[in-house]
Amino acid sequence: MRPRKRNQNRYKNEERKFFLNKFKATHGVSERQFCRDNKLAFSTWQGWRTNEAKILASKRHGRLATLGGQGLRELIPFKNELLAFMRDRRGTERYVRVFHLMRWVKRHHRPWLVDYLSTKKNDAVGYNSFRTLLLRYLHIFRFSRFHYIMVKKLLTAEEAEAKRLKRNEQCKQYHIKNRERRLAYKRENHAKNKAHRLQKMKEWREKNKERRNVYFKEWWRKKRGGKDEDDHSLDPEFDDACSDDSSNSTCTSSASSLMLLSEVALKCIPHGAHGSVKLEPLVAPVIGDACHSCSLQGP
């Protein structure tokens, strides 16, 4: 039969202080009886009694379970001074290496270094141990990564002026070298874009020519009251309305078209502008008069 395992309890600082003060307030009660009454393990109570002064004098928060100071013992007692040296060296844009730290410790804390090396077997082991200790210290404070540092050089006034003139000359040569190339590229793109625009304009005109003719015929038919007898003689361009082989009826219809367009133009003139415009109404040619566009004469 396996023995029953002992329950492990974790006490806080406030609980330790409470039980220690409670035991002081009792008189004539043994420690074992006090542990049985409060359900405390006697071995745990012995540990509290051993560190009673430290527990009662501790200023750590009551909800914490430890008195602090746990972990590995610090081997470098001057860690803050060493960290300040590392940060100051890196702040002045200089490298921070292990041998820099070793040289600083040797210069400022030689007694501690002698005591540390005396605990090792020989000098080689002591050197490796000391170097490993400093590497771990560098790694803790994020000094283990290698950083490239640009060394800044302070230039005199003459050196700065010479550097500025050299840079200006380089920029000038660069622009002269690439000027012809940029101009040729610009001319080529301009010609290409111009040809592209002309081609697009031509395509648009060809595409919309038939639509414009249909629209004009519809407008003409509406003005004539829906008559279609003169649609065959209707053309948006009036230069060819009366050709050399046209008949008298064609010329008459063209003249009627011009009169109708003149009436439309009169309607489009703004109100009040008729007094300042001299209007001469068009008259259709009468049979017997000469037509300027055809060879027909009157009887």
- Where along the chain do its domains lie? 13-57, 79-140, 157-232, 237-299
Give yes or no for residue 264 having a pLDDT over 50.
Answer: no
The answer to whether the CB of 101 falls within 8 A of the CB of 82 is yes
Give yes or no for residue 14 having a pLDDT over 90.
Answer: yes
Give yes or no for residue 158 having a pLDDT over 50.
Answer: yes
Angle at 221 between CA 216 and CA 226, to 5 degrees: 165
The answer to whether the CB of 13 falls within 8 A of the CB of 68 is no
Give yes or no for residue 261 having a pLDDT over 80.
Answer: no
Which amino acid would we find at residue 50?
T
Could you tell me which residue, 269 or 193, shows the higher pLDDT? 193
pLDDT mean over 93-100 = 85
DSSP letter, residue 40:
-
Residue 145 binned pLDDT confidence (cut-offs 50, 70, 90): low
Give yes or no for residue 46 having a pLDDT over 80.
Answer: yes
Q: Which two tokens stand for residue 22?
A: 């409670």
Give yes or no for residue 53 having a pLDDT over 90.
Answer: yes
The rounded distance, in Å, linking the Cα atoms of 9 and 98 is: 46
Residue 97 binned pLDDT confidence (cut-offs 50, 70, 90): confident
User: What local confidence, expressed as pLDDT, does residue 228 receive?
Assistant: 52
Give yes or no for residue 113 having a pLDDT over 80.
Answer: yes
pLDDT mean over 107-121 = 93
pLDDT mean over 148-159 = 67
Give yes or no for residue 37 having a pLDDT over 50.
Answer: yes
User: What local confidence, expressed as pLDDT, does residue 227 receive?
Assistant: 54
Residue 290 binned pLDDT confidence (cut-offs 50, 70, 90): very low
User: What local confidence, expressed as pLDDT, does residue 181 receive?
Assistant: 82
User: What local confidence, expressed as pLDDT, does residue 1 receive?
Assistant: 58
User: What local confidence, expressed as pLDDT, does residue 220 receive?
Assistant: 80
Could you tell me which residue, 84 or 146, shows the higher pLDDT? 84
Could you tell me which residue, 290 or 145, shows the higher pLDDT? 145
Q: Which residues contact 68 (CB under 8 A, 6 or more apart)?
A: 58, 60
SS3 77: coil
Give yes or no for residue 289 having a pLDDT over 50.
Answer: no
Of 219, 4, 66, 174, the C-alpha closest to 234 is 219
Biggest CA-to-CA distance, the chain: 163
Residue 249 binned pLDDT confidence (cut-offs 50, 70, 90): very low
pTM: 0.33
